[in-house]
Amino acid sequence: MSYNNIRLETDQDGIALVTVSRPEKLNALNRDTMAELADAFTRAREDAAIRALIITGAGEKAFVAGADIQELAVLSAVEARALALRGQAIFRMLETLPKPTAAAVNGFALGGGLELAMSCAIRVATPNAKFGQPEVKLGIVPGYGGTQRLPRLVGRGRAIDLLITGGTIDAAEAYRIGLVNYVTPLEELLPFCRGWVHKALANGPKAVALALEAVDVGLDCGIDEGLRFEAAAFGLTAATEDRNEGTRAFLEKRKAAFAGK
């Protein structure tokens, strides 16, 4: 698939950078952009050469400022539901990617943009970033997972405050309430994200993938099912070559050389 609204670049370390590139529209998510993101996320899942994913927006004003309002304004109820289900499936694909993912938020992350960022494992923001779910100001509700992911990240009360007032918060407040993991200057944003990714990639790949999945299972099914999955994952990792290498390297006081086996 050729891309018109996003860019996908992979470096020599297997870190893929996806840039939503519609700066004239503040990188708003229209149908074509969502289709391209779906293709990029599928490639990231299926291509073993892609070891991690960073998502950002083109320009310095916006990560993604939301959905394309011109498209939303003419949707029927049936079309709107189908659009939401499709968007949820695309972002869920990102959320369940068994590889480290980071949102490099370089400006407005509103509506669908915040939903995209929340689907990543972590969020790193510049000081000028703004976050919010302003859909109620348009007479609609979030459709790509905002009502579900926001309370899981910041708690019920804070999430409801943002969801039903449609207000926005800055990077400092987003960091304070746990919506953002780190705040860094714009010129350091992508290097910081790559540095974080390298820290994750230095560990056992199978352990990282199972840790990500265990968190997802526990949040979805509750602590009892989560604990059962954790025990099973612990057993699986104990049978890997990486466990043998990791424990041996620790005892020998050297850096582990994981093979993902």
Active-site residue flag, 241: no
Catalytic residue among 115, 213, 245, 252: 115
Residue 64 host element (H or E): strand 62-64
State the Cα torsion 15-20-26-31 to the nearest 10°.
-150
Please measure the distance between the N-terminal and C-terminal CA atoms of the chain and give it in whole angstroms: 31
DSSP tag of 136: G
13-to-17, 163, 207, 239 alpha-carbon distances in Å = 12, 39, 19, 27
Catalytic residue among 60, 135, 213, 252: 135
3-class DSSP state for residue 248? helix
Residue 155 host element (H or E): none
Query: Distance (Å, rounded) from C-alpha 191 to C-alpha 158?
Result: 31
Active-site residue flag, 115: yes
Q: Which amino acid is at 8?
A: L
Residues marked as catalytic: 115, 135
